[in-house]
Structure 1
Amino acid sequence: MTYRFALKRLALAATLAFGPALAFAQADKPVKIGVTTAIQLQIGRDTRDGAQLAIDEINAKGGVLGRKLSMVVADETEDPEKGISAIKKLTGDEKVDVLVGGYTSGVVLAQVPHIAASKTIYLNVGAASPAINAKVKQDYETNKYIFRVGPINSLHLARSQVGYMTGFLKGELGLKKIAVVGESAKWVQDLLPVLKKGATEGGLEVVMAETFDTGTTNFSPLLSKIKNSGAEYLLVILSHASSDVFAKQWYDARIPVPYGGIDVKSQDADFFQRVGGKSIGEVATNFIVRAPLSPRTIPFLDAFKQHYNREPVYTGNGAYDAVYTYAEAVTRAKSFDTNAVIKELEKTDMPVTVGRLQFDENHDVKAGPGLVNVLFAQWQEGGKRVIVWPKELRTGSYILPPWLK
């Protein structure tokens, strides 16, 4: 017997002896969900807690392919460099199986090359720039790991705002003149041209369109300009700027122009109380409120409230949906192999908390009737939120701010 042949015999014997034990050890190893988010914000806390809720529910049913799920969190703050460090920690040090998270588009865009290099599936639940998922079509083999479960991208958001302006503000309220203001950020730059064009083509006059620095704390000059513009309605685009300060200063100055639009921090369940009720009358774009958007909506909201004693913002349900989306893709693939799971993710067609989830060729969430849609929910007396648009999902009547009645 040659030395080489003897080594082969020994290797085969070792495989036969230890193979089942190794397979058992692998099956017993938890599946690591890496959550990367701005944990100091409710956006981030809800991402973490939504993911944990899904993990707990799935584990209670036996896990995925016989393996339990676990979670590791990295704080990306709102800084690109820290965002990159969070990805490296999760994929390099922690060796997670899948990534869930995202909030700031600039941070996620900085993270994408590092996600792609790690060859780890990434399910975005917070950043809206279409530039993120455009990279999938531009270079599929490199960026095929990138998916957006939510929110719908900023171009879809823009179209929904146009529908709100033309269908509701003009069509139902009879308004003709609007002002559009937003923070200086990448995702707003994507939105503004579409908003202005859509509003004008829909028969509205855009009397003012401006951006401002995200660090602004004195909105008095801007509010005075809006007041003098002749606008009948103010459409805002806010995410990183202080929605709290804006609402308080708008209310205290009794600006005779109602406002609404995309105001991310005003989606917080405690926003009305946080600003002392001064957001009354504001209409905030939302993705999930207590309404039968799908069979999963109310059960999720009830479970989240029971576990955490608060209502989630959109990243909470997004992370919850992302974990389930990954788990179901793995189940269909009958494997944790990344390429096999990607192929199944691409075929996703399932109910989620905000509608029905399907991905387009960019691995971006599809929007539209029967899929995922935008809700326009108004803050009313006592912190109640009422859906005023779209009409088919309306849960109450629109009100004006108290000083305009």
Structure 2
Amino acid sequence: AILREDLAWTEPLSEALNLHLWNWGITVNQTIAFPVGSTEANFNTYWNQIESAGVQLTIPIVSGPDAITMAQTYRNIKPKCLLAGINVLSQLDTYWDDTEGACQYEILMQAVHRTDKTSLTIPFWDSFVSTYNINPLYTGIGSYDAVRLLVIASDSINSFNSDDIVSELEGFNKSNPFIGVGGYISFTNSHDLLAGYPYTYTLFCQWQLDGNKVVVPSYVTSPNPGYYPSSLATGSISVPYWGINNLVAAQNLPED
């Protein structure tokens, strides 16, 4: 299922997911666009609808505070599916407390966590946390890498001329990437960023017991390699104790 904010930015992402998941043999049997400000009752309806359809994975596309209600009702309803996708709010280290722990088991896409994407990642992470007492988001990491890249390019040619700087930046290509905090920055001939490991790529993180957030493995699916090496993982995936439809049986465990 796809559970998205009914906003313009989520529509093309939903369409792309529907297309590519279908191409990979995965059936999307529910696509729900919820209005901003949806209530607990609204989300209860969505989750019951998803559970009735026998969904195994729900992909959220959400950026705002509705994510809190989404997580809390997920815990209350306990639909037998994994919640994994795009949730900007869940990148914040306050999200565990904001949801009162209801985000446990949720998997999110996050640009950086405390793992060795490059030699600069962990030192930057530790310095940022020490200075600001919060975890850095993709905005802070992207800004830092962008400014540092421009400074190094400008210093290298001793010029602020934009054309000269562009020419210098073009030298950071697949065979000569710029080492950033978030990955190895490499530009294509059309000046786009080269995507995929070890260049520009996301990590998959999961909220787990007691508010711990870990980088989970990007599992190999034969014949395709994992999205990133297992060495970047700092933990393993934790499955909801209430199970996943036709995939993982429920466990006789108390509520976490």
User: Shorter-normalised TM-score: what interval?
Assistant: 0.7 to 0.9
Are 1:281 and 1:400, in contact at CA under 8 Å, matched by a contact in 2?
A: yes
Name the residue aligned to 1:271: 95
Deviations 1:81-100 (A, max 9, x none): xxxxxxxxxxxxxxxxxxxx
Are 2:47 and 2:74, in contact at CA under 8 Å, matched by a contact in 1?
A: yes
Q: 2: distance between equivalents of 1:315 and 1:369?
A: 20
Once the two structures are TM-superposed, the CA of residue 343 in structure 1 deviates from its matched residue by 2.5
What SS class does the counterpart of residue 30 from structure 2 fall into? strand
What SS class does the counterpart of residue 403 from structure 1 fall into? coil
Q: 1: distance between equivalents of 2:48 and 2:215?
A: 29
Aligned match for 1:212, one of 28, 31, 34: 34
Name the residue aligned to 1:120: none
Name the residue aligned to 1:396: 235
Q: 2: distance between equivalents of 1:210 and 1:262?
A: 15
Once the two structures are TM-superposed, the CA of residue 321 in structure 1 deviates from its matched residue by 0.9
Name the residue aligned to 1:81: none
Name the residue aligned to 1:252: 76
Once the two structures are TM-superposed, the CA of residue 336 in structure 1 deviates from its matched residue by 1.4
Structure 2 CA distance for partners of 1:217 and 1:322, relative to 1, 3 Å: farther
Deviations 1:245-283 (A, max 9, x none): 211121122233221111111011121122111100000
Once the two structures are TM-superposed, the CA of residue 241 in structure 1 deviates from its matched residue by 5.2
Name the residue aligned to 1:203: 25
Extract structure 1 runs of 4+ deviating beyond 6 A: none
What SS class does the counterpart of residue 61 from structure 2 fall into? strand
User: Does residue 240 of the first structure (1) align with residue 25 of the second (2)?
Assistant: no
Q: 5+ residue gaps in structure 1?
A: 1-178
Q: 5+ residue gaps in structure 2?
A: 220-228, 244-250, 252-256
Q: 2: distance between equivalents of 1:394 and 1:306?
A: 23
Map 1:40-119; keep pairs closer than 5 Å. none
Q: 2: distance between equivalents of 1:246 and 1:374?
A: 23
Q: 2: distance between equivalents of 1:196 and 1:390?
A: 21
Q: 2: distance between equivalents of 1:236 and 1:395?
A: 23
Are 1:181 and 1:211, in contact at CA under 8 Å, matched by a contact in 2?
A: yes
User: Does residue 187 of the first structure (1) align with residue 9 of the second (2)?
Assistant: yes
What SS class does the counterpart of residue 21 from structure 2 fall into? helix
Are 2:217 and 2:236, in contact at CA under 8 Å, matched by a contact in 1?
A: no
Once the two structures are TM-superposed, the CA of residue 363 in structure 1 deviates from its matched residue by 3.4
Are 1:216 and 1:241, in contact at CA under 8 Å, matched by a contact in 2?
A: no
Aligned match for 2:183, one of 336, 350, 355: 355
Name the residue aligned to 2:134: 310
Corresponding residue pairs, total: 227
Structure 2 CA distance for partners of 1:259 and 1:355, relative to 1, 3 Å: same
Q: 1: distance between equivalents of 2:238 and 2:198?
A: 28
Counterpart residue identity of residue 397, structure 1: S
Q: 1: distance between equivalents of 2:128 and 2:145?
A: 13
Are 2:72 and 2:99, in contact at CA under 8 Å, matched by a contact in 1?
A: yes
Aligned match for 2:197, one of 369, 375, 380: 369
Aligned match for 1:326, one of 135, 138, 150: 150
Give the % identical residues.
30
Q: 2: distance between equivalents of 1:185 and 1:356?
A: 32
Once the two structures are TM-superposed, the CA of residue 286 in structure 1 deviates from its matched residue by 0.9
Once the two structures are TM-superposed, the CA of residue 397 in structure 1 deviates from its matched residue by 1.7
What SS class does the counterpart of residue 186 from structure 1 fall into? coil
Once the two structures are TM-superposed, the CA of residue 324 in structure 1 deviates from its matched residue by 0.5
Aligned match for 1:291, one of 111, 115, 127: 115
Counterpart residue identity of residue 34, structure 2: F
Once the two structures are TM-superposed, the CA of residue 377 in structure 1 deviates from its matched residue by 0.8
Q: TM-score, with normalisation over the residues of structure 2?
A: 0.82
Are 1:183 and 1:241, in contact at CA under 8 Å, matched by a contact in 2?
A: no
Q: What is the CA RMSD across the aligned residues, in angstroms?
A: 1.8
Structure 2 CA distance for partners of 1:321 and 1:217, relative to 1, 3 Å: farther
Name the residue aligned to 2:225: none
Q: 1: distance between equivalents of 2:111 and 2:157?
A: 29
Q: 2: distance between equivalents of 1:378 and 1:275?
A: 14
Are 2:217 and 2:235, in contact at CA under 8 Å, matched by a contact in 1?
A: no
Counterpart residue identity of residue 194, structure 1: A
Q: 1: distance between equivalents of 2:180 and 2:95?
A: 25
Counterpart residue identity of residue 9, structure 2: W
Q: 1: distance between equivalents of 2:39 and 2:112?
A: 29
Name the residue aligned to 1:110: none
Structure 2 CA distance for partners of 1:364 and 1:214, relative to 1, 3 Å: farther
Q: 2: distance between equivalents of 1:274 and 1:345?
A: 41
